[in-house]
Structure 1
Amino acid sequence: MKKILLETLANSRAYTLAVAAAMPADKYDFKPNDAVWNFGEQLDHIAYGIRWWQDNFISGRKTEWAPPKAEVDREKVIGHLTKAYADLEKLIRDENVNNDVVKGFYATNDHITHHRGQAVTYLRCQGIAAPEYVF
């Protein structure tokens, strides 16, 4: 099971980082309307969410939902995503994989997919082809 989780995580990381890299730095503040987060906020939210879901649903450490002000700087956002994925990978490698860890992992991955899908839509709104999804 651990191997499957790590493979799924590697695919998620590769695709999320490809989406992040596809948007030019000067477009990270783009949002299709005023009621939604901009592109950078969407991706920074993914990074924060990975950590929060990891704490609450994989590690069993109850933490409050208290995200800091989201970054919109491309390099900082990509750095946050890279670190969040690396920390989650380390946890999965080190953790005794039981049903709670598996459920928590897939809840985390579902959250990532939800917001990454929004980011893909933002790319398309800018006329940018989304990276090809690989599973």
Structure 2
Amino acid sequence: MKNTFFTLLIALVITMPYQAQQITPKDAFLEKWENSKIYLLGIAEVMPADQYNFKPTERQMSFKEQLLHIKSNMDWLSTTYFSSEEYDRTKKYLPATKEETILLLASSFDKVTERILNTSEEDFLTTAEFFAGEKSKLQILNLLQDHVTHHRGQLIVYLNLKKIEPPSYVGW
């Protein structure tokens, strides 16, 4: 009995720091989101400006169009589900340069971060109407990240087709 008590006491003392530092879904998302931002901006940086209109096939988006598509999706989801603002699909600014495109993309990542920081943990458990059916806001967070990952993977193929080495993965 005495050994069991001391074993439990030692286990409790050892695990207390880890229990106190539990990571919330918001914390986990924000850490991953920052890594995603760094990685995607790195990919956007290594493609030469004169290749931003490159399309692997006629039916695919250009490199720049992929980046702007990612940006638009981030703006739509974060505005619609994590702010009181109304998303305006008609409001589109098309950047003229690589630098402007990267700045817009970085700004969208930062806006998502700001909106998620201002969202309570409880709000992630609420549901919202979504075109693919009702989703929790936690699921919307996953959709935000998943969409970036999906298109970023395509952009890596674009770089490889141009014989440009993609930046090292950021995300661990």
The TM-score with structure 2 as length reference comes to 0.71
**What is the CA–CA distance in structure 1 between the aligned matches of 2:48 and 2:74, rounded to whole Å?**
24
Unaligned runs of 5+ in 2: 1-23, 126-135
Which structure exhibits the higher relative contact order, with contacts defined as CA atoms closer than 8 Å and separated by 6 or more residues?
A: 1
| Aligned residue in 1 for 2:36 | 12
Deviations 1:72-107 (A, max 9, x none): 621111011111001011111111122233211111
**What is the CA–CA distance in structure 2 between the aligned matches of 1:113 and 1:58, rounded to whole Å?**
20
Structure 1: which 4+ aligned runs deviate by more than 6 Å?
none
**What is the CA–CA distance in structure 2 between the aligned matches of 1:29 and 1:103, rounded to whole Å?**
33
| Aligned residue in 2 for 1:124 | 160
Q: CA deviation at 1:71?
A: 4.0
Does structure 2 conserve the Cα–Cα contact (< 8 Å) formed by 1:28 and 1:72? no
Q: Are 2:116 and 1:113 equivalent residues in the alignment?
A: no
Q: How big is the alpha-carbon RMSD for the aligned residues of Structure 1 and Structure 2?
A: 1.9
> Residues 66-85 of structure 1: matches in 2 within 5 Å?
66=90, 68=92, 70-71=94-95, 73-85=97-109
Q: Higher Cα Rg: structure 1 or 2?
A: 2
Q: CA deviation at 1:6?
A: 1.0
Work out the percentage of aligned pairs sharing the same amino acid. Answer: 31
Unaligned runs of 5+ in 1: none
Distance 1:129 1:67, change over 3 A: farther
**What is the CA–CA distance in structure 2 between the aligned matches of 1:46 and 1:6, rounded to whole Å?**
17
The TM-score with structure 1 as length reference comes to 0.88
